[in-house]
Amino acid sequence: MKWRTGEAGLRRFGNPATRTIFDVPAHIIDGKALAEKLRGEIASDVSTFTNESGVTPHLAAVLVGEDPASAVYVRNKERACANVGIGSTLHRLPAETTQAELLELIGQLNANDSVHGILVQLPLPAQIEEKAVLDAVSALKDVDAFHPENVGLIVQGRPRFLPCTPCGVQQMLIHHGVQTAGAHAVVIGRSEIVGKPLVNMLMQKGEAANATVTVCHSRTRDLNDITRQADILIAAIGLPLFVKADMVKPGAAVIDVGINRLEGKLVGDVDFDQVCEVAGAISPVPGGVGPMTITMLLRNTLTAATLLRKTS
Ligand SMILES: Nc1nc(=O)c2c([nH]1)NC[C@@H]1CN(c3ccc(C(=O)N[C@@H](CCC(=O)O)C(=O)O)cc3)C=[N+]21
Ligand SMILES: [Mg+2]
């Protein structure tokens, strides 16, 4: 039985024509399981690419200083690369690294033909200007899709790379039968890494898109009134357990992008325990968007390796 958003805002299972309603718990959008399935497909594509080209796709990640969310990311993505046959190198730089030193490293990675994807972990320490660093990454190796050229291509609806977290969210919606066309999608958060690109992608023509999109942020008035109108609610604000049950329309699909540490535990931006009583479908943390972000990074690294072969 497919989960669906009810126009009356009820968790409707069964036959919508007869309006049979079952009171059932929210459908869990299991990002971990989906990530595993998609990684199987990526592993097979990597193997085909490597057999045909003799080239092993390679990702270089740069981490400056320490950040809790970045630490989780680093730990999981190295293993994920190895599991699908992608090579990876982690460049760990001290927190006091200067912008010039970081730009020097990026120049080297840009020029290195055996590096196909480059990822600079955000946030960067205060003395470094993020924009200057992201602009310096070769647009053809920009597996995060943060370079202005790649952002422009996304906005115009002809992406080269799709940003990993937003793309992971779209895949979760597709694979769990959440209809986006004509739906009201409300995104809380306007970051360059999640909110802003996701809003753009959801409003485009195409799969997992064609939504009516509203973007909310820290300056939004009457936030709850807006979030309660969402058929699809996406929380990407970076505040632990921020989204409560009274902010959610019954039957809505809720996607939790947050990765926060609270009392030593990993929690999302959604108060899962109460929101799951109201939502029609909900993604957990951990085991939701996080593993999907990594999966999309693997796909983008393969895309980058393919692109670089074509252009060299
Ligand atoms: N340039 C850049 N791109 C990013 O995409 C980026 C970044 N910088 N900086 C840090 C954040 C954080 N992030 C995570 C991705 C996956 C998990 C992840 O695997 N989460 C597992 C964790 C499970 C666990 O190990 O406890 C889960 O949610 O199930 C976490 C965090 C990407 N980020
Ligand atoms: Mg984040």
Q: Which domains does the chain have, with CATH numbers?
A: 55-138 (3.40.50.10860), 163-291 (3.40.50.720)
Verify whether ligand 1 is closer than 6 Å to residue 293 (CB atom). yes
pLDDT band, very low/low/confident/very high, at 69 (cuts 50, 70, 90): confident
Verify whether ligand 1 is closer than 6 Å to residue 119 (CB atom). yes
> Is there a catalytic annotation at residue 23?
no
Which pLDDT value is given to residue 47?
98
Strand partners, 142: 118
Give mean pLDDT, residues 6-35.
67
Tell me which residue has its CA closest to atom 27 in ligand 1: 286
Which pLDDT value is given to residue 8?
36
How far apart are the C-alpha atoms of 110 and 20, rounded to whole Å?
58
CA 290–ligand 1 middle distance (angstroms): 5
Closest atom of ligand 1 to 123 CA is 9
How far apart are the C-alpha atoms of 12 and 196, rounded to whole Å?
31
Question: With the C-alpha atoms ordered 180, 253, 193, 79, is the resulting torsion angle positive or negative?
Answer: negative
Binding residues for NADP(+), as ranges, are 189-191, 259
CB count, 10 Å around CB of 267?
Answer: 18
Which pLDDT value is given to residue 111?
98
CA 49–ligand 2 middle distance (angstroms): 30
Which pLDDT value is given to residue 6?
43
Which pLDDT value is given to residue 311?
75
How far apart are the C-alpha atoms of 246 and 264, rounded to whole Å?
27
Residue 312 pLDDT > 80: no
Which pLDDT value is given to residue 1?
35
How far apart are the C-alpha atoms of 233 and 255, rounded to whole Å?
6
Verify whether ligand 1 is closer than 6 Å to residue 118 (CB atom). no
Which pLDDT value is given to residue 75?
86
Closest atom of ligand 1 to 122 CA is 8
CA 132–ligand 1 middle distance (angstroms): 23
Verify whether ligand 1 is closer than 6 Å to residue 266 (CB atom). yes
pTM score, two decimals?
A: 0.93
Which pLDDT value is given to residue 180?
98
pLDDT tens digits, one per residue of 181-232: 999 999 999 999 999 999 999 999 999 999 999 999 999 999 999 999 999 9
CA 292–ligand 1 middle distance (angstroms): 9
User: Which pair of tokens denotes residue 283?
Assistant: 């993604």
Ranges 68-77, 94-103, 158-167, 267-276: which has the least confidence: 68-77
Ranges 62-76, 153-167, 198-212, 262-276: which has the least confidence: 62-76
Q: Which of 142, 144, 231, 256 is catalytic?
A: 144
DSSP string, 13-49: -S-TTTT-----PPEE--HHHHHHHHHHHHHHHHHHH
> Is there a catalytic annotation at residue 37?
no
Q: Which of 121, 170, 171, 204 is catalytic?
A: 121
pLDDT band, very low/low/confident/very high, at 309 (cuts 50, 70, 90): confident
Which pLDDT value is given to residue 17?
57
CB of 287 closer than 8 Å to CB of 76: no
Give the count of alpha carbons within 13 A of 190, CB side only.
8
Verify whether ligand 1 is closer than 6 Å to residue 59 (CB atom). no
> Is there a catalytic annotation at residue 271?
no
Which pLDDT value is given to residue 14?
53
Binding residues, as ranges, are 189-191, 259
Q: Which helix (H) or strand (E) holds 254?
A: strand 253-256
Tell me which residue has its CA closest to atom 23 in ligand 1: 286
Residue 12 pLDDT > 50: no
Q: Which ligand is nearest to the CA of 67?
A: 1
Tell me the percentage of the chain whose pLDDT exceeds 90.
Answer: 87
Give mean pLDDT, residues 31-38.
98
What crossing angle do the helices spanning 289-311 and 164-175 adopt, rounded to 10°? Answer: 120
Amino acid at 16: P
ipTM over 0.90: yes
Q: Which ligand is nearest to the CA of 258?
A: 2
Ranges 21-30, 63-72, 105-114: which has the least confidence: 21-30
pLDDT tens digits, one per residue of 155-183: 999 999 999 999 999 999 999 999 999 99
Verify whether ligand 1 is closer than 6 Å to residue 87 (CB atom). no
pLDDT tens digits, one per residue of 228-258: 999 999 999 999 999 999 999 999 999 999 9
- Cα of first residue to Cα of last residue in the chain, in angstroms, is 49
Q: Answer whether the bond into residue 125 is a cis peptide, omega within 30°.
A: no
Which pLDDT value is given to residue 16?
53
